[in-house]
Amino acid sequence: MKVSILQFPGTNCEYDTEYAFKKLGADTEIIWHKSETIPDNTDLLVVAGGFSYGDYLRSGAIAKFSPVMKAVTTYANNGGKVLGICNGFQVLTEAGLLPGALKRNEGLHFISKHHHLKVQNSDNIFLKELSDGDIVNIPIAHHDGNYYIDEAGLQELEENEQILLKYTDASGAVQNPNGSVASIAGVCNKNKNVFGLMPHPERAMEVVLGSDDGVNMLKGFFES
């Protein structure tokens, strides 16, 4: 499996992401933001976390204009699988590849800790190794992770099973760290080939680091 990982000025999770997918057996390649193409043999394109362009204006707002994003949009629209993690999620919403937007955290502070998530919909390639209702413990690290979508958009997400993950406590009860609408931590597009989440599964690959729950979150992509 070939995983291509985008790198913008300010990206800081590309090497964590590379490590995670190599650990699972993938071939990886880091793609600089000025590239105008995606490698032809790419099975999964990952928009990694960090602070693209220093998060100026809004998180992901400048990155969406990078040369590579035209190729990303074409790749996604042709059915290619795309995963946006944290800042990558922000970039994909800014680019219109995922619904909704990411705002400043409700408490106006950067949050960095492990947090539990509940799987809402596993009928997709990303979460197919998990089941609806499963609880995972995954690090979060963001300042603008407050997911927003209007009522009509939220209803559409629910009807199309596009809500992937919600923030909870260890028992599965809602525990919202940042004010996200409906405690949403991750969503996908209608075609279920573009995925975005604020938590960092690539940082949860080994028990010694606090959790290896990220392994099963990423393994689904290898089953396509």
- Distance, CA of 39 to CA of 82 (rounded, Å): 13
Residue 202 annotated to the active site: yes
Of the residues 33, 116, 142, 200, which is catalytic?
Answer: 200
Most distant pair of Cα atoms in the chain: their distance: 45
Of the residues 14, 33, 86, 142, which is catalytic?
Answer: 86
Residue 116 annotated to the active site: no
Residue 200 annotated to the active site: yes
- Distance, CA of 156 to CA of 139 (rounded, Å): 28
Of the residues 14, 18, 94, 202, which is catalytic?
Answer: 202
- Distance, CA of 22 to CA of 1 (rounded, Å): 10
Which residue stretches of the chain are H helix? Answer: 14-23, 68-77, 87-94, 151-159, 214-219
- Distance, CA of 1 to CA of 25 (rounded, Å): 8
Catalytic residues: 86, 200, 202
